Amino acid sequence: MANKETVLVSGGAGYIGTHTAVALVEAGYDVVIIDNFSNSEPSAVEGVEKILGRKVAFEKVDTCDKDALRKVFEKYPFNTVIHFAAYKAVGESMAEPLKYYQNNLVSFMNIVEMMKEFNRPNILFSSSATVYGDAEKLPVTETTPRQPATSPYGNTKQIAEDILRDCCRAYEGLYGIALRYFNPIGAHPSALIGELPRGVPNNLIPFVTQTAAGIRPMLSVFGSDYNTPDGTCLRDYIDVVDLAKAHVAAVNRMTGHKMEQKYEIFNVGTGTPLSVLELITRFETANDLKLPYKIVDRRPGDVPAVWADTALANEVLGWKAERDIDDTLRASWAWEKHVRGIK
Ligand code: UD1
């Protein structure tokens, strides 16, 4: 492909980063992955390379280390950065807030500072639906007011969004897009990359697949007395391959000089809510197995329901979630089996 643009992917060995690196290369971009493996493994980069059938540029760099980051900017000619590198465990952020503010904000500010120093124009930031909190009106649009964050993790997403907005306003050559992800699930259809949680998973699907694999004896469903159709929480589960494609659409918009404002925000979800019990049933049916589960108390901090209005991403990015939820849930299970060596 003529005129190959390069994209720097920070946290590119992580769950969403690996899938996005694959999608970018498949769309004709070159990628440079940086990661410090604080919550990922070198095998994740190997998985990306196996899928693509070629090597990708990789540097083991901590984005909090400004000098190391500067060397990456000196070495590679990218105009666009996708910044995934961040800690993401809500519970841990409550116990160790400084660790979260330090890592997530310093790394983000380092990236923006380097972009300014080296005149690199485009930054795409990984935000989260967590910024909406317990929204008054559903589905949420990008203009739905953000609620005060209920965790330091959520606060780092809100603060980074604000930093990006202010920097794009102040610095002439800088353009930013924040993608607010809903609940990413699934794995690449090849089962060569997927989510690799360390220790006991906090998120629903890794807990489900580990329970199916017999690593966890029982799945706990957190609360069945919410004001929802079956009493369990409603979320918008977005396939990670679809999510990766949303990044490509956003990068196309930036590199094609199509942005209408210097800082834009898009929801990335399916627009369809699913309850915890619905998800469990669909996982069982799609994979032809039974999951042991019990209803327990609500988990503090969970909102009853949140799902996306995706009209803006559909119309402006020309992106839409496409994968069938049953295929997504089969991919989640195929990935868990791959990791555990289960036939
Ligand atoms: C969580 C974070 C959110 C973060 C997102 C990243 C909280 C409060 N929110 O979203 O900030 O951006 O992960 O993926 O932690 N559930 C169970 N049993 C389990 C695990 C989860 O019933 O063992 C339920 C939860 O109550 C919730 C749903 O499953 O209703 C989804 O939970 P989870 O996967 O943790 O995502 P969120 O809490 O929506």
Mean pLDDT of the chain: 97
Q: Among 336, 264, 268, 246, which Cα is nearest to 20's?
A: 246
Q: Counting atoms of ligand 1 from 1, which one is nearest the CA of 150?
A: 8
Adjacent-strand bridge partners of 128: 181
Question: Rounded mean pLDDT of 121-143?
Answer: 97
Q: Counting atoms of ligand 1 from 1, which one is nearest the CA of 129?
A: 12
For ligand 1, pick from 222, 274, 307 the residue to mutate: most ligand atoms within 8 Å of CB. Answer: 222
Task: Retrieve residue 297's tokens.
Answer: 């108390």
Task: Retrieve residue 291's tokens.
Answer: 């999951």
- Whether ligand 1 lies within 6 angstroms of the CB of 307 is answered as no
Q: How far apart are CA 304 and CA 229, in angstroms?
A: 11
Distance 90 CA to ligand 1 centre (A): 9
Q: Among 85, 121, 131, which Cα is nearest to 106's?
A: 85
- Whether ligand 1 lies within 6 angstroms of the CB of 235 is answered as yes
Q: Counting atoms of ligand 1 from 1, which one is nearest the CA of 184?
A: 14
Task: Retrieve residue 97's tokens.
Answer: 């807030």
Cβ neighbours of residue 67 closer than 8 Å, sequence gap 6 or more:
none
For ligand 1, pick from 39, 87, 90, 237 the residue to mutate: most ligand atoms within 8 Å of CB. Answer: 90
From residue 331, how far is each of 196, 207, 235, 335 by CA, in Å?
Answer: 14, 15, 19, 6
Question: Rounded mean pLDDT of 139-149?
Answer: 97
Are the beta carbons of 266 and 316 closer than 8 angstroms? yes
Distance 252 CA to ligand 1 centre (A): 31
Residue 131 per-residue DSSP state:
G
- Whether ligand 1 lies within 6 angstroms of the CB of 190 is answered as no
From residue 28, how far is each of 52, 149, 271 by CA, in Å?
Answer: 12, 38, 28
Q: How far apart are CA 25 and CA 179, in angstroms?
A: 20
For ligand 1, pick from 183, 216, 219, 234 the residue to mutate: most ligand atoms within 8 Å of CB. Answer: 183
For ligand 1, pick from 151, 205, 276, 328 the residue to mutate: most ligand atoms within 8 Å of CB. Answer: 276
Tally the C-alpha atoms within 13 A of residue 154's C-alpha that lie toward its C-beta.
18
Fill in the amino acid letter for 109: M
DSSP code per residue over 275-294? EHHHHHHHHHHHHT----EE
1 band by pLDDT with thresholds 50, 70 and 90: very low
Q: Counting atoms of ligand 1 from 1, which one is nearest the CA of 208?
A: 23
Task: Retrieve residue 179's tokens.
Answer: 């993608």
Question: Rounded mean pLDDT of 164-185?
Answer: 98
- Whether ligand 1 lies within 6 angstroms of the CB of 92 is answered as no
In this structure, which residue's CA is closest to atom 2 in ligand 1?
Answer: 90
Give the tens place of pLDDT for each residue, 252-269. 999 999 999 999 999 999
Cis peptide before 139 (omega within 30 of 0): yes
- Whether ligand 1 lies within 6 angstroms of the CB of 90 is answered as yes
Give the tens place of pLDDT for each residue, 59-88. 999 999 999 999 999 999 999 999 999 999
Residue 2: pLDDT above 70? no
How much of the chain, in percent, has pLDDT values that exceed 70? 99
A 10 A CB-CB count for 157 gives 25
- Whether ligand 1 lies within 6 angstroms of the CB of 276 is answered as yes
Distance 278 CA to ligand 1 centre (A): 15
DSSP code per residue over 145-179? PPPPPSSHHHHHHHHHHHHHHHHHHH-TT-EEEEE
Task: Retrieve residue 118's tokens.
Answer: 């080296």
Q: How far apart are CA 97 and CA 120, in angstroms?
A: 31
Catalytic residues: 153
- Whether ligand 1 lies within 6 angstroms of the CB of 156 is answered as no
Q: Among 146, 87, 124, 128, which Cα is nearest to 269's?
A: 128
3 band by pLDDT with thresholds 50, 70 and 90: low
- Token look-up 């890794």 returns 206
241 three-class SS: helix
Q: In this predicted structure, what is the pLDDT of residue 224?
A: 98
Phi first, then psi: give them for residue 121, nearest 5 degrees.
-85, -35
> Global pTM?
0.97
Question: Rounded mean pLDDT of 271-288?
Answer: 98
Burial label, 10 (beta-carbon count in 10 A; 0-12, 13-18, 19+): buried
Q: Counting atoms of ligand 1 from 1, which one is nearest the CA of 232?
A: 30
6 band by pLDDT with thresholds 50, 70 and 90: very high
- Whether ligand 1 lies within 6 angstroms of the CB of 51 is answered as no
Q: In this predicted structure, what is the pLDDT of residue 300?
A: 92
